[in-house]
Amino acid sequence: MVLPRQFYLRPPRTVARDLLGCILVSRIGGTLTAGRIVETEAYLGPEDAASHAAIRPHAAREAFYREGGHAYVYRIYGLHWCLNAITGAAGRPGCVLIRALEPVAGLRAMARRRGGSPEVRRLTSGPAKLTEALAITGRDNGADLTRGRLRIDPPDTPRDFRIAVGPRIGITRAVDLPLRFWVRENPCVSRA
């Protein structure tokens, strides 16, 4: 089971909310690692001053020309990778930043990649932490999330959690828009 293309061909806000509870699965590096998505942020088009459509138009253009359901992976602060799911039709800017996971499979591999053996809640409780734990890098930019070694599956259990909404984290523009979604009271969320 994998989320179909149609899932991503909707507005970023909707996709961000519906991705909560879904399972991000990585077969990168010969080991299966997976986690339940517990925190996301939506980024819109040029009208959203915090979106890469506005602040990195040239770099993001290639990504946004892809159809929804592809990965947009970029480097931040020169050393970390962040994973986004492109939303909407090809040529329409919009994506969802995957900010935090609850580890589901391959915890030993995650701990090894993260260096040492940190506690479980710290393995994937941040956008750069989860890419490191799942071995996601710039090589995976443009990958099709509906097939291949990096994919997102529907929830494996009923979505019986409560969803919280609030402003996005770590940005300096459009700081007040309520485009961050997370699973309420989940310990793996990057911030309360």
Partner DNA sequence: TAGCTGATTGACT
Partner DNA sequence: GTCAATCAGCTAA
Interacting span for DNA (CB under 7 A) from 105-113, 155-163, 164-172, 176-184: 164-172
Spatial separation of the C-alpha atoms in residues 69 and 97, rounded to whole Å: 13
Interacting span for DNA (CB under 7 A) from 3-11, 152-160, 167-175, 178-186: 167-175
| Sequence-ordered list of residues with C-beta below 8 angstroms from that of 122, at least 6 positions apart, any chain | 114, 129
Strands (E), 63-149: 71-76, 80-86, 95-105
Q: Minimum CB separation from DNA for residue 102, in Å?
A: 14
Site string for DNA, 50-79 (x = CB under 7 A): xxx--xxxxxx-----------x--xxxxx
**192 binds DNA per the rule CB under 7 A:** no
Q: Minimum CB separation from DNA for residue 99, in Å?
A: 7
Using the rule CB under 7 A, which residue among 110, 127, 143, 183 binds DNA? 127
Residues 14-53 that bind DNA (CB under 7 A): 41, 43, 50-52
Spatial separation of the C-alpha atoms in residues 38 and 7, rounded to whole Å: 18
**166 binds DNA per the rule CB under 7 A:** no
Strands (E), the chain: 23-26, 33-43, 71-76, 80-86, 95-105, 150-153, 163-166, 180-183
Nearer to DNA, 3 or 189 (CB): 189
Q: Are 21 and 139 in contact (CB under 8 A)?
A: no
Q: Minimum CB separation from DNA for residue 142, in Å?
A: 13
Using the rule CB under 7 A, which residue among 15, 25, 128, 152 binds DNA? 128
Spatial separation of the C-alpha atoms in residues 62 and 57, rounded to whole Å: 9
Burial of 99 (0-12, 13-18, 19+ CB in 10 A): buried
Size of the site for DNA (CB under 7 A): 36
| Sequence-ordered list of residues with C-beta below 8 angstroms from that of 67, at least 6 positions apart, any chain | 5, 8, 9, 86, 89, 90
Site string for DNA, 85-124 (x = CB under 7 A): ----------x-x----------------x---x---x--
Residue 116 C-beta-side C-alpha neighbours within 13 Å: 5
Question: Residues in the site for DNA, rule: CB under 7 A?
Answer: 41, 43, 50-52, 55-60, 72, 75-80, 82, 84, 95, 97, 114, 118, 122, 126-129, 168-173, 190
